Amino acid sequence: AAPPPSAPGEPAPPPPPLQYSVLLQHLVGDKRQPRVWDPATLGGIPCPPKSEEQKMVERVMESCPFKAALACVGGFVLGGAFGIFTAGIDTNVGFDPKDPYRTPTAKEVLKDMGQRGISYAKNFAIVGAMFSCTECVVESYRGKSDWKNSVISGCITGGAIGFRAGLKAGVIGCGGFAAFSAAVDYYLR
């Protein structure tokens, strides 16, 4: 409320004291007006707010199990293609050591190509899933998304795979996978 007007010769009455509780209610309380965030005012591309379904899909796609499944399927497809390719250029596909002069039939060559493709596909799928799971766990533990996550997870994955052949192979696998992960991460970022 405005103070009553004073006569021309009288001193002006002092303003009412500032009530911090009223000020706080307008800043952080129930009466606070939400600020509309418009990316266009900041120079960004305007986009509509995300629906609950979109947020749920994003949460699923960012989850560790989804990333592991995607890496497993991708590794399977890539490994199968790599296995079929290497079998296609290998001169020993369909070769019978008992009869070295016999030419293998197309059926035998295709069978060997399929077997090698499946073998490579399974191995690539396992490595992809291991790496993806490890990277997701490391990223969740560290709370950061940077190049160190891929190097650490590459070392863990390579060490685990190489450790089956002994400690030295585990250390070499750790270093090799870590270096490869660092190179890929450097190239992709």
Tell me the mean pLDDT per 10 residues along the chain, length 189: 61 70 70 66 71 91 92 95 88 76 82 92 95 92 89 94 92 94 87
Quote the pLDDT of residue 134.
94
Measured CA distances, 159 to 54, 74, 77, 82 (Å): 38, 22, 24, 23
Distance spanning both ends of the chain, measured CA to CA:
61
Distance between CA atoms of residues 54 and 57, nearest Å = 5
Quote the pLDDT of residue 9.
67
Quote the pLDDT of residue 112.
87
Quote the pLDDT of residue 16.
67
Quote the pLDDT of residue 13.
74
Distance between CA atoms of residues 184 and 131, nearest Å = 13
Quote the pLDDT of residue 47.
73
Measured CA distances, 65 to 50, 60, 148, 152 (Å): 23, 9, 21, 19
Quote the pLDDT of residue 120.
95
Compute the half-sphere exposure of residue 32: CA atoms within 13 Å on the CB side of its CA: 11
Rg (CA), the chain: 33
Q: Smallest Cα–Cα separation from 176: which of 74, 156, 130?
A: 156
